[in-house]
Chains A and B, each alone.
Chain A
Amino acid sequence: MEAYGYGLYLVTLLSAGGIYAILALGLNVQWGFGGLFNAGIAGFFAVGAYASAILTTAATPEHLGGFGLPLALGAVAAMAVSALIAWGIGRICIRLRSDYLAIATIGIAEILRLVLKNEGWATNGPRGINRIPKAFEGLPEPWAQLGFLAMVLLTVLALYLLLERAWRSPWGRVMTAIRDSEAAARAAGKNVERFRVQAFVLGAAVMGLAGAYYAQYIKFIGPDATDPLTATFLVWVMLIAGGSGNNRGAILGAFLIWTVWSATEIFTPRLLGLLAGLLPADLAAELKAETVVRSAYLRVFLIGLVLQVVLQRYARGILPETRPAVAAAPPPAAARERG
């Protein structure tokens, strides 16, 4: 019986990890391929989740729709809406340096959160959207969860194959050329803005798909369902630790960091307990009283520390980028410089 419990835990861990892997693949297209900074991943994710939720839930007076459409259609719409927003932002900011894109994306994520919270007629406001249908939920347990997991993992595999193809294609080579030397790519006659917008939009569409899956997975979506910055940040840590510019690295980083993140949920309260043992009794009692709340902040702090260490010591990640053209030889150091 215990093994069954662990098995189910593994299934949820992998399902959530798979959704993060989709997000990390999306970010890899934007940052790894194109050098485009996106600080608003949670925004694109949320828009995808809401679009899919509104289209697929059964009719209700609580929010716009639901239209009771098939889940696949919801997923496609999630990608389309997310892509559309990325296109708008990209058109405006892509000609400027990536700092501006970072500021604009963090801004758009915040505005989207406001809209989702305040336009109650469409989104049910702060109460969010409930009873979102989930793929395979008609099956008996554990097959329902396994079916969903299989769908997520197959999607990760399909995206991996597609993006690997894109990476090796002329399009991918132009993207990395632009990333590494914009001036040279421009001199070679490439339309830098257009390629960048394409990468940004493609990445955002992938993130929208992750949102649709997340809405199915939790069966609920609200404006504050996840702390947007923590979620965005986790995806960044996943990609950079795994190896930006490498699709396999993105997937590996997602599962690895997600496992570590989930494990710290168990581990940080114990760490706090150990700390409390070293402190004077009154302070220790105070620390213990809020252990659960405080350990949540400790987790965010630690994951931030992981990013700083990786950035400074292992900037290329676990699986470094390999250039398709010169796969046999290590890429020159200059190729990693970005601007």
Chain B
Amino acid sequence: MWEFVNFYFLPGVVLGCIYALGALGISLTFGILRFANFAHGEIMMLGAYFTLSLTALTGLPPLAAALPAMALTVAVTLALDRAAFRPFRGAPAIISVIASFGLMLMIRSAVQFFWGVQPRPLLRGIQRPESFLDGAILLPPKHIVIIGSALVLMVLVHLLLSRTRIGKAMRAVSDSPGLARLTGIDVEAVIRATWAVAAVTAVAAGVLLALDTHVESMMGFKMLLPMFAAAILGGIGRPFGAVAGGLVIGIAEEVSSFPFGGTEALLNPAYKSGIAFAIMVAMLIWRPSGLFKGRVF
């Protein structure tokens, strides 16, 4: 029982928190800019590399270095929007998808060019797990940090979307861009805010993932499918649906290799990343609007 919780369920929650942060940005950009951004994973990876370099340059701990890295990544994302996406605002959404597909490869090859392809740790050394409930539950400190920071960020995004003027404007554009424009909302400002929120949450997801594993140039692409699956599972344009979707997929991926009722893993761990795809396909067949009645384009 505790083996299940410690080695399958809790790692699933940790992974789920990371997916949730990533899916949040995908869901927001899909809802407001109305296209599936394939470069989201690479923005996340870029932020992790900025953090890596900033820790090396300044000696700051990773979470502190993540803040200037977020600012940098937001700047890069806004520049990319202007260069690659703004020319297609009025064009069919699929053109933006193609542009994002190209950006995905460009960002990755640029990172590989400057930083190389060797995986690098963000956090050195081995951590002793903290024990709770008289040693029944074991959780390494980094996992506590990941879950804690993810929760803080989700609450902040929630407050932004529900309490601030720009957050409300973002939800209005997501529901109906035409109507939002008619009421005098500056749609371009909303788009910039959306990119900023997406970039900040993406960098957070990237740094937290790097804390758990390491920084590598393929990390963004590996996250792409689970993040899209989480966004679709929760319902496009429903940020908290994306969070729930991320948790479900993270937990499902880890729990799938638990040997239920036998000695063999339920699913060969090599196929772990197939779980997200299977869940996504199932949703597309039976309920494309997702669990929380999102948008279907």
On A, residues with C-beta under 8 Å from B are 35, 37, 39, 92-93, 96-100, 102-104, 106-108, 110-111, 114, 117-118, 229-230, 233, 236, 240, 290, 293-294, 297-301, 303-305, 307-308, 311-312, 315, 337-339
A304 adjacent to B105 (CB under 8 Å): yes
> Interface readout for B76-99 with A: 1 if CB under 8 Å, 0 if not?
000000011001100111110111
B97 adjacent to A98 (CB under 8 Å): yes
Chain A residues whose CB sits within 8 angstroms of the CB of B93 once the complex forms: 97, 99, 339
Question: Cα distance A35–B297 when bound, in Å?
Answer: 15
Chain B residues whose CB sits within 8 angstroms of the CB of A303 once the complex forms: 105
Provided the pairs A96-B288, A100-B288, A312-B87 are in contact, do residues A304 and B106 lie with their beta carbons within 8 angstroms? yes
A308 adjacent to B99 (CB under 8 Å): yes
A118 adjacent to B98 (CB under 8 Å): no
Provided the pairs A99-B297, A311-B95 are in contact, do residues A111 and B274 lie with their beta carbons within 8 angstroms? yes
Provided the pairs A110-B225, A305-B106 are in contact, do residues A97 and B98 lie with their beta carbons within 8 angstroms? no
Among the stretches B11-19, B110-118, B192-200, the one at the interface with A is: B110-118
Provided the pairs A96-B296, A229-B105, A338-B92 are in contact, do residues A37 and B97 lie with their beta carbons within 8 angstroms? yes
Question: Is B271 interfacial (CB-CB < 8 Å)?
Answer: yes
Question: Cα distance A328–B288 when bound, in Å?
Answer: 43
Chain B residues whose CB sits within 8 angstroms of the CB of A97 once the complex forms: 93-94, 297
Cβ-closest chain B residue relative to A240:
B98
Q: Which of B36, B102, B271, B274 is in CB contact (< 8 Å) with A103?
A: B36
Q: List 19 A-B contacts (CB under 8 A).
A: A37-B98, A97-B93, A103-B36, A104-B280, A106-B224, A114-B270, A114-B273, A118-B271, A230-B105, A290-B116, A293-B116, A300-B105, A301-B110, A304-B105, A304-B109, A308-B83, A308-B106, A311-B98, A338-B94
Report how many residues on chain B are interfacial, defined by Cβ distance under 8 Å.
Answer: 47
Chain A residues whose CB sits within 8 angstroms of the CB of B274 once the complex forms: 111, 114
Chain B stretch 25-41: residues in CB contact (< 8 A) with chain A: 30, 35-36, 38
Question: Is B7 interfacial (CB-CB < 8 Å)?
Answer: no
B113 adjacent to A301 (CB under 8 Å): yes
State how many angstroms separate the Cβ of B144 from the closest Cβ of chain A. Answer: 32
B38 adjacent to A102 (CB under 8 Å): yes
State how many angstroms separate the Cβ of B119 from the closest Cβ of chain A. Answer: 15
Chain A residues whose CB sits within 8 angstroms of the CB of B91 once the complex forms: 337
A301 adjacent to B228 (CB under 8 Å): no
Q: Which of A118, A236, A294, A307 is in CB contact (< 8 Å) with B268?
A: A118
State how many angstroms separate the Cβ of B171 from the closest Cβ of chain A. Answer: 21
Return the 4 tightest CB-CB contacts between A and B, nearest first: A304-B106, A300-B109, A99-B36, A297-B109
A301 adjacent to B109 (CB under 8 Å): yes
Question: Cα distance A298–B92 when bound, in Å?
Answer: 30
Question: Is B133 interfacial (CB-CB < 8 Å)?
Answer: no
In addition to A102-B36, A118-B268, 16 A-B residue pairs with Cβ atoms within 8 Å of each other are A96-B284, A96-B288, A98-B97, A100-B284, A103-B280, A104-B284, A111-B277, A114-B271, A114-B273, A233-B101, A233-B105, A301-B106, A303-B105, A307-B102, A308-B102, A337-B91
Chain A residues whose CB sits within 8 angstroms of the CB of B103 once the complex forms: 304, 308
- Give the residue among A98, A299, A303 with the most B Cβ atoms within 10 A: A98
Cβ-closest chain A residue relative to B83:
A308
A304 adjacent to B102 (CB under 8 Å): yes
> Interface readout for B248-291 with A: 1 if CB under 8 Å, 0 if not?
00000000000000000000101101101100110011001000
State how many angstroms separate the Cβ of B97 from the closest Cβ of chain A. Answer: 6
Chain A residues whose CB sits within 8 angstroms of the CB of B270 once the complex forms: 114, 117-118
Question: Cα distance A80–B276 when bound, in Å?
Answer: 27
Question: Is B240 interfacial (CB-CB < 8 Å)?
Answer: no
Question: Is B49 interfacial (CB-CB < 8 Å)?
Answer: no
B116 adjacent to A39 (CB under 8 Å): no
Chain B residues whose CB sits within 8 angstroms of the CB of A304 once the complex forms: 102-103, 105-106, 109
Cβ-closest chain B residue relative to A98:
B94
Question: Is B221 interfacial (CB-CB < 8 Å)?
Answer: yes
Chain A residues whose CB sits within 8 angstroms of the CB of B113 once the complex forms: 294, 297-298, 301
Q: Which of B36, B92, B97, B98 is in CB contact (< 8 Å) with A337?
A: B92
Chain A residues whose CB sits within 8 angstroms of the CB of B99 once the complex forms: 307-308, 311
Chain B residues whose CB sits within 8 angstroms of the CB of A98 once the complex forms: 94, 97
A102 adjacent to B273 (CB under 8 Å): no
Question: Cα distance A118–B274 when bound, in Å?
Answer: 12
State how many angstroms separate the Cβ of B110 from the closest Cβ of chain A. Answer: 6
Cβ-closest chain A residue relative to B288:
A96
Chain B residues whose CB sits within 8 angstroms of the CB of A37 once the complex forms: 94, 97-98
State how many angstroms separate the Cβ of A231 from the closest Cβ of chain B. Answer: 11
B271 adjacent to A96 (CB under 8 Å): no
Question: Cα distance A339–B281 when bound, in Å?
Answer: 22
Cβ-closest chain B residue relative to A35:
B94
